[in-house]
Structure 1
Amino acid sequence: MYISQIEIKNFRNFKECEIQFNEGVNVIIGHNNAGKTNLLKALSLIIDHKTSKRLETDDFNKLISIDDLKKAPPKISIAIKINKGPNVEPDDLVTIGNWLTKLDSSYEALLTYEFFLPEKEIPHYLSAINAITETDEIKAVEKAWKIIKHDFIRLFTHKIWGGEISNQAVADSDSLQKFDFQFLDAIRDVERDMLTGRNTLLRDVFDFFMDYEIKNEPEATKPKSAKIAEIKARKIDFSDKADELIEMLQKRMEQGKEQILSYANVTGASFNEAKPNFEGSISDVEMFSVLKLIVEYKSGIKIPATHNGLGYNNLIYMSLLLAKMQVNSNGSYMGSNAKVYATLAIEEPEAHLHPAMQYKFLKFLKQNRKERKVRQIFVTSHSTNITSAVSLDEIICLHSENGITSVGYPGKVFPDDKSKKYVQRFLDATKSDMLFAKNVILVEGLAEQLLMSVFAQYEKESLEDNHTVVINVGGRFFDHFLHLFDSTKPNTIHKKIACITDRDPESKIILNGKFKKCYPYEYNLDPSTYEYKFNSSALKYPAGTHPNISFFTQDETKGKTLEYDLLLTNPTSELLLTPSISNQDEILKLMQLYSEGKKPTDLLVALRSSTENDRIISSINIADTTTWDDDIKMRAIIASRYLNSVGKGENALELSYALLENLDLLGKPEYKNFIVPDYIKETIAWICQK
């Protein structure tokens, strides 16, 4: 069996939310305050018998209107569905038998935690809340919650119902305690919890695994009675040797003891012919208190575990925790107290583990589940290394927007295996950032990836403050990724997605040849000879046509690529002439001629002779003068020459440095004006819009 679903109502950031779980590993991700910790807390309220079931006013979701508060007291409801699943143990059905809601061979059970105001207190509550006279909604709600906190929260009670909630059957405590829910939170002190035998965790593990070679021997070769007898003989032998040690200690203390106890006579502690003395024995279990955890290196050096790093000790602690869960589920050792369902929940394992250890840790967890030492695992994480190490099917993504929490299942959104496999391969440690960010900008190449954050700063915005990440998809492969985020479809991750793509006009001779890149002023220049096309992916979701996805590209008449548009928008900006740009002198000359108010013919004369320059000259001369006036022609000449002189990756890095250094000069005479291309401005404005 396994926990297949949780439904949460009015608990913390969850107004009403249903979350599906996997039978094995569940990696729960999302931006800060998306509800990852609250989800584990909700789960623990039902299946962790050690957790306090009492809640406070602040545990309620506050998105309740004053009208609803006046109709009825708020109530928290958390329900988990338990399904049979592919892996069944003998005691599964016995444990959940009283909670079944589906009685066929693929059985299903339901447990529901409720925190509510008892029926008899409701009239008093309604009287108090309906006496609120404030007309302002916010003030009225604030006053209602103050009344609940001061006068009613102490009267709220909780129940865990088994089966259909309409039956109001309380889940029996004995069955609930068959669940072993071990929770390792993000702020933990593992040294306190594990490093000496005085600690319960280590002592219980020691006791179970002592004489393990006997306990683990098959019944066929050694009956249970023979095992018990052999272990008992070992205990007696140990006790006899321990008694010899105690006797040796007593002899060493014989005279000293008389001196110590002489003070009893003076203080009056010895009276009525009774006097204090020292006596004792020690068992093998009691000897655990002298043991401490150490780390022994291959060189033979031994150091106490207290000298280890936090990450290393966390791994040791988790291994002990899994060993403890094995102890808890062993029927021979625990008898009727043995656990049936072992669940491990770990919050932010990356807090103390470097990337390589995170990967090893996840592999370790999966192996333990495979060996049935733990049956279901829940991990919350902000780590791209962890998400890159698991399959899309194992990821659950929480997203919170305007107080509403939504859930995405990346493994369930793809219409075909091709896109799913493509995205799975793509989500390495860097690119899986898209799963964590609040907003995403998808771009075709490295230049846009390096420059988008800088462009935003020129627009007095911050992508980082808006929790926006820029992802380079390496071409026009947006569709594969949009399956993850299309909010009009089920199981997707709801966040803003901006796609920036180049217009890339192309032409070819009709009925002959292949499409080749052309300049914007060549587009539709000779439709009788040439066939034309452009990158039509930008037409998929123009801004405003989809709830959460928008495409942005250059002007349909004058646009081509990012580099081209940079010069088209900034035809005299020497900031763009970075060290890796070739033909700098020629481009600088074109800029100067433009600044001096020259004509297009003056710029064309300044072009050195080359095949590409000859093409620019011939095309610009016959460009449509109704669209291409002298000013835009000159800009296009400079942009074309710049585009042919740039190496994208290196130039983008140099340009980002140059633009950032220029920003530092803002307000000073040395500052150079720079204008962000319009389509980039539109992208930034849309993605940063609150």
Structure 2
Amino acid sequence: MYISKLTIQNFRCFQDFTVEFNEGLNVLIGGNNAGKTTVIKALEFLFKRGSAKAPTIDDFNKSLDVSTPPEITITATLKSSNTDTMDDKAIVASWLTKLETPWEAELTFKYFLPEQDQKKYIEESANLSTPKERWFLLERNLKRYVARIYGGNIVNKNRAEPEYLDKIHCETLDALRDVESNMFTGKNTLLKQLLIHFKDKAMHTVDHSEKTDGQNVTVGNDKFGQLSRSLVDDIVGRVNQKEFLEFAEKTGASVGGVPALDGNLQEGDVLSALRLIIRDQTGIEIPIINNGMGYNNLIYISLILSKFKMITSPEYGENAKTFPILLIEEPEAHLHPALQYNFLKFMKDEMDNQSFSRQIFITTHSTQITSAVGLKPIICLEKEGGKPVFAKYPSKVFSESNEDQESRKYVERFLDATKSAMLFAKSVVLVEGMAELILLPILAQKVNCDMDKHHVALVRVDALTFKHFIKLYGAGVKSENREYALEKRVSCVIDSDPSKIVKEKQDGVRRSWKKCWPFDLDSSPDIFDYKPISGAVRNLNEQTTASSNVKVFYKSEKGKTFEYDLAWDNSENTLLFTDDVEIVEVKELSVCTWAEKEKERAKLASSFLIHAQGVKGELAFELASRIQDNRSTVINVPAHIKGAFEWVCYRNELEERNG
């Protein structure tokens, strides 16, 4: 059994919103105010009864017409799975909305004004002239609002039975958590509960006798009784009772009986005295309050997981919980990136094994976390302008075809912390080289398209692997899968890389396409066949034909590589052509039919490219420094690269909006 879907109406940023969940782990990502926390709070209203506070006026969606009393409705769909138990079925028996396998059940939280109070509300609202006055009316009437949880089809309005709701246990670690105060000593509820439950468990692992668990516990209790009696007797013996109580006899109090000291030390008293400490590799012990906040967060989460193990234990009998849920906001808080990765990898593995929690819901802004869990658990909440928030599911864009599954595996394999940025950004620029990765952010500033300000992720992929990544954004996928794709703008900046191949095959020589200069194209048509753009560019063009948000940008005429194209548009720029750049003669230029001015530019561009290939990437760093040190010097940005910037930064729309 798992929560397969959540529908939220009129709650905070959601007027009518539905999100689908996975079995096990669910990782919600999205920009600020996209609704991640609202999803967590909605789950709390349904599954954390008693702890979740009643909604306030600020919890109502602000676009509502409150001339009639509005309602907040949150509906969770529970669906059967392969790991169902008899207890699962018993819980949802009266909540079922679909009987055939896989069965479905529903729980609905409603916050509403009772029917007997609605007439008066509507009459008062009719006499008010402004929305602001009506919102004040709603706020005054909140004290009359009631919260109910219904099971099954909501039209029947059957109240969900508390005894079955109590079988579902929900724990939340919010973003502003103070974990230290919850686990200092055994006086705290969580730590004390765990100490009591796991007390005497160690005896089972060291006792090699044939005793049963019950006998082991009895032995443990007897031993504690002896030790506690001895300890109390020792303390009592060290107190001078005669001097301590001498005035009792003088006041006459001893006539009713002589006072004396005695005591009884219970296990709970000792457990309350225990505290967590940290023992480092050298053996030094420090109190947990002095431990790092990140490590304490991990320790606290580990205690929560131990609690889940405890409350689902058969030792609790009918009081045992059946369906524990963990909600964590921003687990990356105070955690080193490596710890983030390892922690979520552990969570994913444990959820796959259903070891402690039936479902975990996580909100995050961390690329380390998304790279650790793969695509399947990720749910993207996207919000574009004034449009409603909608949920997208990156893993579902890939169909079951071999080609799509290959793409999915490739993306997951290479979705490291750097490439995961493409899931969080507002727009994405995909490039194929280190030089582009270094220089494009600087060139973007030259055309007033600052990538950071426009929340654009710059991601390097290989020329032949663009096709895998752009499927995340709906390019080249089946129409029925496109609804799950991310609706972000994507620019694919790729080299045109012209090539040629010998027409006639020679004996013993294998024909293959070889890269050539743009000025070499069609120079010997009787000997070679030519391609002005590479196969990778052509395939990308075909893949993005039907896409409204993914575009391919390359220099369609007289283009070759990024370095060549940049030098072509800056053939007289001293920032590029320093004394280190040797101007070389390229033999193919001698038979080129271009105009002399174009041939001269081609000669310089070719020389710059040859120089860049010789220094193996160092040139990009040096050129970036020179551009930044000489900000007043004009750099011409190639038209196709400028177009890529303007596309992901919505420049055309901004200009139209500003007149």
Q: Same fold, TM exceeding 0.5?
A: yes
2:239 maps to 253
Residue 127 of structure 1: CA displacement?
4.1
Deviations 1:605-639 (A, max 9, x none): xxx5x5xx2212321xx22xxxx5x5444433322
1:193 maps to 182
- CA 424–233 in structure 1, closer or farther in 2 if over 3 Å, else same: closer
1:407 maps to 391
One-letter amino acid matched to 1:675: N
- CA 571–234 in structure 1, closer or farther in 2 if over 3 Å, else same: closer
1:106 maps to 102
- CA 485–301 in structure 1, closer or farther in 2 if over 3 Å, else same: same
Q: Work out the percentage of aligned pairs sharing the same amino acid.
A: 37
1:386 maps to 369
1:560 maps to 560
Residue 107 of structure 1: CA displacement?
2.4
Residue 69 of structure 1: CA displacement?
4.2
Residue 99 of structure 1: CA displacement?
0.8
1:591 maps to none
Give the one of 519, 541, 552 matched to 1:539: 541
Please say if 1:356 is aligned against 2:345: no
One-letter amino acid matched to 1:507: K
Give the one of 473, 485, 488 matched to 1:495: 488
Q: TM-score, normalised by structure 2?
A: 0.87
Residue 542 of structure 1: CA displacement?
7.8
Whole-angstrom CA distance in 1 between matches of 2:261 and 2:174 = 44
- CA 143–472 in structure 1, closer or farther in 2 if over 3 Å, else same: farther
Residue 371 of structure 1: CA displacement?
5.9
Whole-angstrom CA distance in 2 between matches of 1:524 and 1:144 = 75
Residue 125 of structure 1: CA displacement?
3.7
Which 5+ residue runs of structure 2 have no aligned equivalent? Answer: 506-510, 655-659
* More deviation, 522-531/319-328: 522-531
1:325 maps to 308
2:608 maps to 642
1:615 maps to 588
What SS does the corresponding residue of 1:350 show, helix, strand or coil? coil
Whole-angstrom CA distance in 2 between matches of 1:686 and 1:278 = 85
What SS does the corresponding residue of 2:217 show, helix, strand or coil? helix
- CA 392–131 in structure 1, closer or farther in 2 if over 3 Å, else same: same
Residue 427 of structure 1: CA displacement?
0.6
Contact 1:53 1:158 in 2 (8 A): no
Please say if 1:684 is aligned against 2:645: yes
What SS does the corresponding residue of 1:389 show, helix, strand or coil? helix
2:499 maps to 506
What SS does the corresponding residue of 1:686 show, helix, strand or coil? helix
Q: TM-score, normalised by structure 1?
A: 0.83
Give the one of 131, 150, 155 matched to 2:144: 155
What SS does the corresponding residue of 1:499 show, helix, strand or coil? strand
- CA 115–567 in structure 1, closer or farther in 2 if over 3 Å, else same: same
Whole-angstrom CA distance in 2 between matches of 1:174 and 1:359 = 38
What SS does the corresponding residue of 2:8 show, helix, strand or coil? strand
Residue 566 of structure 1: CA displacement?
1.6
Whole-angstrom CA distance in 2 between matches of 1:574 and 1:276 = 101
Contact 2:504 2:527 in 1 (8 A): no
Whole-angstrom CA distance in 2 between matches of 1:162 and 1:636 = 74
One-letter amino acid matched to 2:73: S
- 1:626-641 to structure 2, matched below 5 A, reads 628=595, 631-641=597-607
Contact 1:4 1:21 in 2 (8 A): yes
- CA 529–245 in structure 1, closer or farther in 2 if over 3 Å, else same: closer
What SS does the corresponding residue of 1:352 show, helix, strand or coil? coil
- CA 476–273 in structure 1, closer or farther in 2 if over 3 Å, else same: same
1:27 maps to 27
Deviations 1:282-334 (A, max 9, x none): 211221111111223454432222222122222222222111111111232x2
2:657 maps to none
The total of aligned residue pairs comes to 628
1:437 maps to 425
Residue 382 of structure 1: CA displacement?
2.1
Residue 230 of structure 1: CA displacement?
4.9
Contact 1:48 1:180 in 2 (8 A): yes
Deviations 1:134-189 (A, max 9, x none): 6xxxxx5x55444433x333333221110111110111111111112122222222
Whole-angstrom CA distance in 2 between matches of 1:439 and 1:276 = 81
1:593 maps to none
- 1:221-620 to structure 2, matched below 5 A, reads 227-228=213-214, 230-232=216-218, 234-255=220-241, 258=244, 280-332=263-315, 334-366=316-348, 368-369=350-351, 370=353, 372-402=355-385, 403-415=387-399, 416-486=404-474, 489-512=482-505, 513-525=511-523, 527=525, 529-533=527-531, 534-535=533-534, 536-537=538-539, 539-540=541-542, 546-554=547-555, 556-577=556-577, 582-583=581-582, 586=583, 610=585, 613-619=586-592
One-letter amino acid matched to 1:475: A
Residue 3 of structure 1: CA displacement?
1.5
What SS does the corresponding residue of 1:241 show, helix, strand or coil? helix
What SS does the corresponding residue of 1:161 show, helix, strand or coil? strand
- CA 643–372 in structure 1, closer or farther in 2 if over 3 Å, else same: closer
Whole-angstrom CA distance in 2 between matches of 1:390 and 1:119 = 47
What SS does the corresponding residue of 2:356 show, helix, strand or coil? coil
Contact 1:132 1:144 in 2 (8 A): yes
Give the one of 165, 171, 188 matched to 1:176: 165
2:14 maps to 14
- CA 211–526 in structure 1, closer or farther in 2 if over 3 Å, else same: same
What SS does the corresponding residue of 1:282 show, helix, strand or coil? coil
- CA 462–271 in structure 1, closer or farther in 2 if over 3 Å, else same: farther
Deviations 1:635-659 (A, max 9, x none): 3332233223223622222222222
Contact 2:46 2:109 in 1 (8 A): yes
Residue 470 of structure 1: CA displacement?
0.5
Whole-angstrom CA distance in 2 between matches of 1:92 and 1:391 = 28
1:598 maps to none
Whole-angstrom CA distance in 1 between matches of 2:523 and 2:119 = 81
Contact 1:538 1:553 in 2 (8 A): no
- CA 677–37 in structure 1, closer or farther in 2 if over 3 Å, else same: same
Whole-angstrom CA distance in 1 between matches of 2:125 and 2:464 = 57
1:87 maps to 83
1:603 maps to none
Contact 1:506 1:517 in 2 (8 A): yes
What SS does the corresponding residue of 1:195 show, helix, strand or coil? coil
Whole-angstrom CA distance in 2 between matches of 1:287 and 1:495 = 58
1:122 maps to 118
What SS does the corresponding residue of 2:607 show, helix, strand or coil? helix
Residue 253 of structure 1: CA displacement?
3.1
Residue 275 of structure 1: CA displacement?
11
Deviations 1:412-449 (A, max 9, x none): 21132211111111112221111121211111222222
Superposed CA RMSD in Å reads 3.2
Whole-angstrom CA distance in 1 between matches of 2:524 and 2:134 = 73
- 1:646-657 to structure 2, matched below 5 A, reads 646-647=612-613, 649-657=617-625
2:61 maps to 61
- CA 23–567 in structure 1, closer or farther in 2 if over 3 Å, else same: same
Whole-angstrom CA distance in 2 between matches of 1:215 and 1:172 = 38
One-letter amino acid matched to 2:304: L
Residue 77 of structure 1: CA displacement?
1.7
Deviations 1:388-410 (A, max 9, x none): 22232222222222252222222
Contact 1:444 1:476 in 2 (8 A): no
One-letter amino acid matched to 2:244: E
Whole-angstrom CA distance in 2 between matches of 1:350 and 1:260 = 62
